[in-house]
């Protein structure tokens, strides 16, 4: 799409004059900006909802708000996950950001520290503050402030070919009695027949860092440690190595995981899952929707909890968030709308639309999210084990992830480097990156 870099404007006088004239002409043609003079407050709500049910749920809620709040009109603006960071950054710099911003907690650090987002501590009602657990609020707490309301989250689960597992006779794990990582490795080995192209698991690790770090919390891995001054330091302990070693062993030693899926995104593994090539695929909870839509008729599947380690089923998540722009002149009205949007019954509608879990305690109790159908009950049982993703509030994390951790983990999983070199690169190169951000 973007085939050429942007061209800088000329400095020659005639051309500048032409452009200025053109600007005046175009300004005259462009008309007004639709601003209202009748005293009605208009808030712009940029939503990143993209699935049909989710978009419908959001639009319905906006319509319901507008019908009951004639003085505060909310305008629904469709954003895109694909480019939200750059788009928001430009909007903030230009003072044209939406009033209410839908994003994810791992994207907020720069905006929060940059002063672009309103501190919500004094804006949100008690009901909402108490409804969402503290561990979820921690995902949007930067320094002393709270810069977003975490409202939807998804654990990583095992989507499993139920018939294949039943036929093999392996023990089926539950949230109360999950597989350990060792057991998981043994099970995948038992399920596999690599010579026939059948594997116990397919790890889609195109983006290996978040998957590895989030799952490593179950084994007690942290990677990022803070000292008394709040400075972050990277360490790679035996607990941090549990998940990477398991994956590496499945791919390389046991041949119970397909090596060809290591470079794939989650959706790319589904055809092989449906086609009987992989017995299980570790994916985000919301991938269930794609399974429901795309699975062949009669395909028998189920949702299993990810394996547990020394810290049980603990996992890291980066919830979806709603924030309010610091520059918004209507922060209180925006907070009222956020409160409306996240009432328990509305949070349930949003969760169902996105096939994710709500963060709110009241919403999590809703029977619609407790049904066994499509594995909802397995997901809700995991909600209490979800923690802030490691490092999401660490400045320099994006650079560490892109320049150090992603290539190092990809090389480790593919067998190109060993655990020693992985540790060295993650820690030594990583701490050099962090040091630049923590001077």
Partner 1 sequence: MRTGAAARAGQYAALVAYLVFLAFPFLWLVSTAFKPPRELGSLHPTWIPHDPTLANFRQAFDEQPLLRAALNSLVAALGAAVVAVLIATPMAYVIARRRTLLARAATGWVVVSQAFPFVLVIIPLFLVLKNLRLIDSVPGLVMVYVVWALPFALWMLVGYVRAVPVQLEEAAAVDGAGRLRTLVSVTAPLLAPGVVATALFAFVTAWNEFFFALVLLKTPEKQTLPVVLTHFIGAEGVADLGPLAAAACLATLPSLVVFAVIQRRITSGMLAGAVKS
Task: State the binding string over 119-158 for partner 1 (x if CB under 8 A, else -).
Answer: ----------------------------------------
Q: Does 95 bind partner 1 (CB under 8 A)?
A: yes
| b/e sequence 165-195, b meaning 16+ C-beta within 10 Å | beeeebeebebeebbbbeebbbbbbebbeee
In whole angstroms, how close is the CB of 358 to partner 1 at the nearest point?
A: 17
Residue whose CB is less far from partner 1, 37 or 229: 37
Q: List the one residue from 64, 96, 122, 177 that touches partner 1 (CB under 8 A).
A: 96
144: burial class by Cβ within 10 Å (0-12, 13-18, 19+)? Answer: exposed
Q: Does 277 bind partner 1 (CB under 8 A)?
A: yes
Residue 73: φ, ψ to 5°: -95, 135
**Options 80-88, 224-232, 302-310, 403-411: segment touching partner 1 (CB under 8 A):** 80-88
Q: List the one residue from 41, 295, 362, 381 that touches partner 1 (CB under 8 A).
A: 295
Q: Does 193 bind partner 1 (CB under 8 A)?
A: no
Q: Does 29 bind partner 1 (CB under 8 A)?
A: yes
Residue 21: φ, ψ to 5°: -65, -40
The strand order across the sheet containing 149-153 reads: 72-78, 41-47, 100-104, 320-324, 149-153, 357-358
**Dist CA 240 CA 316 (whole Å):** 13
**Dist CA 218 CA 158 (whole Å):** 15
Are residues 314 and 143 in contact, defined by beta-carbon separation less than 8 angstroms? no
**Dist CA 37 CA 33 (whole Å):** 12
**Options 236-244, 288-296, 343-351, 368-376: segment touching partner 1 (CB under 8 A):** 288-296
Q: List the one residue from 37, 38, 86, 345 that touches partner 1 (CB under 8 A).
A: 86
Q: Does 275 bind partner 1 (CB under 8 A)?
A: yes
Number of residues that bind partner 1 (CB under 8 A): 66
Residue whose CB is less far from partner 1, 284 or 344: 284
Element (H, E) at 417: none
Indicate the SS3 state at residue 225: strand
Residue whose CB is less far from partner 1, 31 or 70: 31
Q: Does 284 bind partner 1 (CB under 8 A)?
A: yes
**Dist CA 364 CA 371 (whole Å):** 11
Q: Does 376 bind partner 1 (CB under 8 A)?
A: no
**Dist CA 55 CA 26 (whole Å):** 34
Residue whose CB is less far from partner 1, 10 or 174: 10
Cα angle, residue 203 at apex, residues 202 and 207 outer, rounded to 5°: 150
Element (H, E) at 12: none
User: Beta 100-104 vs 41-47: how paired, if at all?
Assistant: parallel
Q: Does 407 bind partner 1 (CB under 8 A)?
A: no
**Options 81-89, 125-133, 184-192, 388-396: segment touching partner 1 (CB under 8 A):** 81-89
Residue whose CB is less far from partner 1, 6 or 134: 6
Chain residues that interact with partner 1, rule: CB under 8 A: 1-12, 15, 18-19, 22-23, 26-27, 29-31, 33-34, 44, 48, 50-52, 55, 76-78, 80-83, 86-87, 89-91, 93-96, 98, 104, 207, 265-267, 270-272, 274-275, 277, 284, 287, 290, 293-297
């Amino acid at each position: 799409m973007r085939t050429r870099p942007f061209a800088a404007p000329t400095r020659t006088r005639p051309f500048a004059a032409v452009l200025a004239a053109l600007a005046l002409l175009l300004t005259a043609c462009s008309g007004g900006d639709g601003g209202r003079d009748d005293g009605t407050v208009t808030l712009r709500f940029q939503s990143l909802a993209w699935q049909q049910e989710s978009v419908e749920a959001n639009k319905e809620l906006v319509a319901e708000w507008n019908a009951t709040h004639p003085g505060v009109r909310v305008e629904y603006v469709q954003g895109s996950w694909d480019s939200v960071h750059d788009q928001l950054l430009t909007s903030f710099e230009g003072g044209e950001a939406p009033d209410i911003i839908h994003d994810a907690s791992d994207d907020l650090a720069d905006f929060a520290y940059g002063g672009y987002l309103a501190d919500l501590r004094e804006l949100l009602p008690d009901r909402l503050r108490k409804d969402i657990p503290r561990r979820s609020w921690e995902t949007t707490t930067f320094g002393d402030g709270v810069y977003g309301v975490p409202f939807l989250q998804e654990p990583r689960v095992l989507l499993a070919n139920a018939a294949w597992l039943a036929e093999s006779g392996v023990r089926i794990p539950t949230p109360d009695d999950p597989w350990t990582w060792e057991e998981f490795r043994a099970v995948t080995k038992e399920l596999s027949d690599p010579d026939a192209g059948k594997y116990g698991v397919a790890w889609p690790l195109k983006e290996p860092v978040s998957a590895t770090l989030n799952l490593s919390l179950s084994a007690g891995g942290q990677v990022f440690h803070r000292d008394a001054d709040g400075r972050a330091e990277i360490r790679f302990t035996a607990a941090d190595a549990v998940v990477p070693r398991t994956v590496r062993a499945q791919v390389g030693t046991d041949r119970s995981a397909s090596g060809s899926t290591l470079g794939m995104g989650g959706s790319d593994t589904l055809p092989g899952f449906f086609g009987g090539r992989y017995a299980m695929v570790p994916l985000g909870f919301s991938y269930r929707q794609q399974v429901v839509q795309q699975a062949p008729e009669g395909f028998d599947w189920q949702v299993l909890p990810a394996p547990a380690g020394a810290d049980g089923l603990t996992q890291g998540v980066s919830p979806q968030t709603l924030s309010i722009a610091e520059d918004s002149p209507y922060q209180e009205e925006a907070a009222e709308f956020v409160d409306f949007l996240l009432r328990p019954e509305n949070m349930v509608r949003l969760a169902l639309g996105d096939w994710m879990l709500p963060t709110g305690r009241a919403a999590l109790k809703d029977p619609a999210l407790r049904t066994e159908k499509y594995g909802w009950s397995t997901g809700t049982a995991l909600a209490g084990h979800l923690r802030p993703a490691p490092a999401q509030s660490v400045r320099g994390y994006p650079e560490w992830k892109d320049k150090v951790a992603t290539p190092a983990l990809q090389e480790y999983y593919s067998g190109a480097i060993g655990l020693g070199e992985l540790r060295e690169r993650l820690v030594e190169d990583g701490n050099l990156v962090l040091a630049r951000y923590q001077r």
